[in-house]
Structure 1
Amino acid sequence: MTFTQTLREENQDIFHAIFDHPFVDGIGKGEVPAESIKHYIKADFEYLNAFMRVYGIALAKSQNRDDINFFHEKIQFILNSEIHPHHNFCDYVGVDYEGLQGYPLPPSADHYIKHMMHHAQTGGLGEILSALLPCPWTYLEIGRELMSTFNPTSDHPFYPWISFYADERTAATTLEMRERLDAIAADSSKHEQLKMKDAFRKSCQLELAFWEMAYTCEEWPESVVSR
């Protein structure tokens, strides 16, 4: 069993909790509250900006051109391709994409970004990839799960979103990240592998928290006036 196969097996519980989340289930049913969609896009736009910055840190830590090119290509994928599912959500709620950009991060998204940045700043490429991988991997499996369960057609309101994440290009991106992490893990110590597993597990948990954050329109608590 490869390192990433072990990661997937050890985090089966979180993956299934994500599949069962009401926001994800609502995408399959074509029924998600508009305010939850807006909250998701506001947070995810900033999250993906941070995701690209983490790729940039990984690129700066790369020791060869293959790794530099690898992370450069991943940045381009987010910049040029991952805006399409956002546009599908925007069309659903009838809001221009630009109108949902530049908002402060809700607590769970803020935590997630700082978690990734911590591993980017203090860890090697294995830790960084472990912190990043749950995002594309869970979305790939969400897309495939929704395709299998709901069999959406082109008239489904979220067909572009579902088909994007179930697509072979998304699968290829995830597979490339898995293969790169497997290669790094094979040359890593047990201690380093444990740090990778911890980064991966927490990112899976924060993926679940992100869906909950969006669905409940999570905000920071109001300041408490001392008495």
Structure 2
Amino acid sequence: MTFTEELRKENEDIFSLIFNHPFVQGIGKGDVPEEALAHYIKADYEYLNAFMKIYGIAISKSSTREDIAYFTKQIDFVLHSEIHPHNNFCEVIGVSYEELQGYPLPPTADHYIKHMMAHAQLGTLGEIIAALLPCPWTYFEIGRELIRQYSPNEDHPFYPWITFYAEQRVEDVVLVMKTRLDALAESASVQEKQRMKEAFRKSCQLEWAFWEMAFTCEEWITEKEAAVHE
């Protein structure tokens, strides 16, 4: 069993929770509250900006041109391709993409970014990839799972979103990251592999939490709201 096969097996519980989250199932059913879609886009726009910066840190820690080329290609993918599923959500709620950009991060998204950034700044290249991988991996499997469950056609409101993440291009992103992480794990110490596993699992947990954050329209508590709960 490869290292990434171990990771997938050890985190089946979180993957299953993600597949069954009401936001994800709502995408499959074609019914997600508009405010949840808007909240998701606001947070994910900033999250993907941070994701690209972490790829940049990975470039600075790369020792081969192949890795530099790979991470550069991934920045381009996030920058130019992942706007398409965002635009699908925007079209459904009738709001322009530009209107949902530049908002402060909700607590969960803020924590997720800082979790990945900590591994990027303080960890090895293996830790960086382990922290980044759950994002494309869970989305690819969500796309495939929603197609399996709901068989959406072109009339489905979220057909572009679902098919984007289920397509070969996203699978290729996941496969390359898995292959690179497996190679790095082969030469990693026991301690480093444990840190990689911990980074991966926490990112999986935060992927679930990100869906929950969007569905509940999570915001930072204010002083006034805190007083109500005292």
TM-score normalised to structure 1 length: 0.98
User: What's 1:217 paired with?
Assistant: 217
C-alpha separation between the residues in 2 aligned to 1:79 and 1:47? Answer: 12
**Aligned-pair Cα RMSD in Å:** 0.9
Mind listing any 5+ residue stretches in structure 1 that lack a counterpart? Answer: none
C-alpha separation between the residues in 1 aligned to 2:124 and 2:220? Answer: 32
C-alpha separation between the residues in 2 aligned to 1:199 and 1:42? Answer: 25
C-alpha separation between the residues in 2 aligned to 1:60 and 1:189? Answer: 22
> How many matched pairs?
226
Corresponding letter in the other structure for 1:190: V
TM-score normalised to structure 2 length: 0.97
Q: 1:1-227 alignment to 2 at 5 Å? A: 1-223=1-223, 224=226
C-alpha separation between the residues in 2 aligned to 1:120 and 1:150? Answer: 37
Query: Structure 1 runs of 4+ off > 3 angstroms?
Result: none
C-alpha separation between the residues in 1 aligned to 2:221 and 2:80? Answer: 35
Residues 132-184 of structure 1: per-residue CA shift (max 9 Å, x gap): 00000000000000000000001100000000000000000000000000000
C-alpha separation between the residues in 2 aligned to 1:92 and 1:122? Answer: 40
**CA apart distance, 1:80:** 1.0
C-alpha separation between the residues in 1 aligned to 2:21 and 2:198? Answer: 23
C-alpha separation between the residues in 2 aligned to 1:49 and 1:96? Answer: 18
**CA apart distance, 1:12:** 0.2
Identity %: 65
C-alpha separation between the residues in 2 aligned to 1:153 and 1:90? Answer: 19
Corresponding letter in the other structure for 2:67: D
C-alpha separation between the residues in 2 aligned to 1:127 and 1:6? Answer: 15
